[in-house]
Amino acid sequence: MSEAALSTVSGVTRRIPDVTWCDLFEFQARRTPARVCLVADEVAWTFHDLDLWGERLARMLRDAGASPGTVVACAMTRSVRAVLGVLATAKVGAVYLPIDPALPAARLDAILADARPAVVLTDVVRLAERADLVLSTEDWQAELSGYAGHRPPRAAAGPAYLIYTSGSTGLPKGVSVGHRSLVNLYGELADGFFPAGRGPQRVAHGLPLFFDASWNPLLWMAGGHELHLLPDPVRTDPASYVDFVREHRLSVVEAVPAQMSALVEAGLLEGRSRPRMLVMGGEAIGQDLWSYLRAAPGVTAVNLYGPTECTVFTTACRLDDHATPSIGRPIGNTTARIVDEHLRPVPIGEPGELVISGSCLALGYLGRPGPTADRFVTAGERRYRTGDRCRLMADGHLEWLGRLDDQVKIRGHRVEPGEVEQALLTSPGVRQAAVRVEGSEPRLVAYVVLDTGSVGRLRERLRAMLPSYLLPSTIVPLEAMPLGPTGKIDRAALTPPVAVRRTIVLTSTQELVAAAFRVQLELPVVDADSDFFDLGGHSLSAAALAARLRAQGVPCSLRDVLLRRTVARLAELVPATEEGRTP
């Protein structure tokens, strides 16, 4: 049987210009200098403005030691300075490394030790001792105004940026992505997404700046569109996000499916002022959301799929092209194959591992030739083994069926449970640890055997070691781990111990709130002192909890959930008329 009859599908062939994404931005700045390209910090920045200040910051970076091919780590707050950091790094010809300023010190130090940046740039005072350059939040323009422009020659063949992902060894690993891959992605956006409406679009940037998907809105900007950088308090609160979209008449919104669902519930598609295009990626989309958006009039919804190793997204599917969730077809200059364990393509319709080849592939893992050779295999051509179980349907669409290993996406972040296990095993008092992915909304559950200490102290130690998306939603103490025939931990047999039944006494108002906790967190039991965030809640689920309580008649906002974390405290918001109501 020829390969054409097997599970192989390719995107269109497109010429990739020998430029960097920064060259594309500078071309646009010369073409439309007076057009607004970025709205941030309540200021509308033109292409000329951003290009000018980017050149000044580039000169400052060069004077601090940045040069073509070196790494510039940017730990920036969500402001115009963060966008300038990306642009200035590219103008120098250096490699951009985004870092979340809120990372625990241990993880920040691990990333900096691995990446060995020539310059660390920040605008956060508490990180000043780790930084080479600190831009003040108030006088940064005065600091940069004395620097002349800087336009060195730039090579389009080298790395453009680094993104650190979770690693099973307990240490984060850096994925190095080249300019050619990024420019190929720009070509895909220009051909398939930019024509979403007539003229320049207003694009919402509500994604985390240290998330590789944040490149999508930046490339929209380089394509001549107007980018609106949502402040943190706005982007994390669905109601405020929707108000922002309406106030600024934004036409393109991108979010992970969980957040998009919350935005839809908050009224994103209600009224006359609604976005024209919704873009989702980072995790699987459920059928309910898929069907709802597919039927929404006047809206184009697109599902994106792609590992970090394949430059943001590798396949795309317009929801109106398929009735059930699909990851679609490969982007330009990209081939997808469904293969067996020997990397041989399987027949159409049969499940197997998805492997990707083409211009989207990253350069590899920084300083890790072994893992690079393991995942980026050479079989006639260079291919990336995604570890995702998929199948190619007869209509040419790819269907995602889950993971072949225990890796998972949580709120758009790729998570290796093994990294959490390593963090647990290095903690004092922990004899054994195992971490599993559980629940319909994937979450990490840790099982531990403790020699000393308590679950509370262990959780506090993890908070100091790991970013929030790697924290287990639940830590279950066990007397001993279940073992299989070979003496290894039997992970399938891991279950919480049967608790001694106890009577939980709740008032009627507390029961109303407790019921919302149980449904939102998929837990059988909570009591008056149960803390939403200690039980595994996060900002998105907190917003969903607030919406759930409002639907029950409780005047509850996201801020209330953040400040009143327990059942008892939130129950104080329940109106007296709700007393005795059945939730």
Q: Which of 79, 279, 105 is nearest to 194 (CA)?
A: 279
Q: What is the number of other CB atoms lying within 10 angstroms of the CB of residue 429?
A: 14
pTM of the predicted model, to two decimals? 0.81
pLDDT at 547: 87
Q: Which of 440, 314, 473, 286 lies closest to 388 in space, CA to CA?
A: 314
**Concatenated DSSP letters of 408-467:** EEETTEEE-HHHHHHHHHTSTTEEEEEEEEETTTTEEEEEEEESSS-HHHHHHHHHHHS-
Tens digit of pLDDT at every position of the chain (583 positions): 445 568 899 999 999 999 999 999 999 999 999 999 999 999 999 999 999 999 999 999 999 999 999 999 999 999 999 999 999 999 999 999 999 999 999 889 999 999 999 999 999 999 999 999 999 888 999 999 988 876 777 777 899 999 998 776 667 899 999 999 999 999 999 999 997 667 899 999 999 999 898 999 999 999 999 999 999 999 988 899 999 999 999 999 999 887 898 899 899 999 888 999 999 998 888 888 899 999 999 999 999 999 999 999 999 999 999 999 999 999 999 999 999 988 999 999 999 999 999 999 999 999 999 999 999 998 778 999 999 989 999 999 999 888 787 777 776 677 778 788 878 887 888 888 888 887 766 778 889 888 888 888 898 888 888 888 888 888 888 888 887 665 667 877 887 655 444 557 889 899 999 999 988 887 777 888 888 887 778 777 888 899 889 988 999 988 899 889 899 999 999 997 654 444 4
Rounded to an integer, what distance in angstroms lies between the CA atom of residue 520 and that of residue 272? Answer: 31
pLDDT, residue 169, reads 65
Q: Are 172-196+225-412 and 508-578 the same fold in CATH?
A: no
Q: How far apart are CA 171 and CA 27, in angstroms?
A: 39
User: What's residue 500's pLDDT?
Assistant: 44
Phi, psi (5° rounding) for residue 392?
-100, 120
528, burial (CB in 10 Å: exposed 0-12, middle 13-18, buried 19+): middle
Length of the chain as a residue count: 583
* CATH number, domain 416-493, options 3.20.20.70, 3.30.300.30, 3.40.50.2300, 3.40.50.970: 3.30.300.30
Is residue 406 within 8 A of residue 387, CB to CB? The reply is no
For 278, residues 6+ apart whose C-beta sits below 8 A from its C-beta are 253, 254, 255, 260, 293, 299, 300, 301, 302
Task: State the Cα–Cα distance between residues 445 and 437, nearest whole angstrom.
Answer: 6
Domain spans, the chain: 172-196+225-412, 416-493, 508-578
| CA pair distance 399, 342, nearest whole angstrom | 21
Helical pair 287-295 and 257-265, crossing angle rounded to 10 deg:
60
CATH of span 172-196+225-412: 3.40.50.12780
Please tell me the predicted confidence (pLDDT) of residue 501. 46
Q: What's the confidence (pLDDT) of residue 1?
A: 43
Q: What is the 3-state secondary structure (H, E, C) of 460-521?
A: HHHHHHCCHHHCCCEEEECCCCCECCCCCECHHHCCCCCCCCCCCCCCHHHHHHHHHHHHHH
In sequence order, which residues have a C-beta less than 8 Å from that of residue 558 and are 6 or more positions away?
236, 237, 238, 239, 539, 542, 543, 546
Q: Which residues contact 488 (CB under 8 A, 6 or more apart)?
A: none
Q: Looking at the structure, give the CATH architecture of the domain made up of residues 508-578.
A: Orthogonal Bundle (1.10)
Q: What share of the chain is helix, strand, coil (3-state, %, to 5)?
A: 35, 25, 40
Q: Give the pLDDT confidence of 275-285 residue by residue, as tens digits.
A: 999 999 988 88
Q: What is the DSSP letter of 576?
A: G
CA nearest to 446, candidates 429, 468, 422: 422
Amino acid sitting at position 512: L
Q: Which residues contact residue 181 at a Cβ distance below 8 angstroms, ignoring those fewer than 6 apart?
A: 160, 311, 359, 360, 361, 362
Q: Which of 505, 507, 500, 430 is nearest to 472 (CA)?
A: 430
407, 442 contact by CB (below 8 A)? no
- Tell me how many degrees the CA angle 440-444-449 measures, rounded to the nearest 5: 130
Instruction: At 155, list the tokens.
Output: 């090579």
Calpha distance 249→264 (Å, rounded): 16
| CB atoms inside a 10 Å sphere around CB 271 | 9
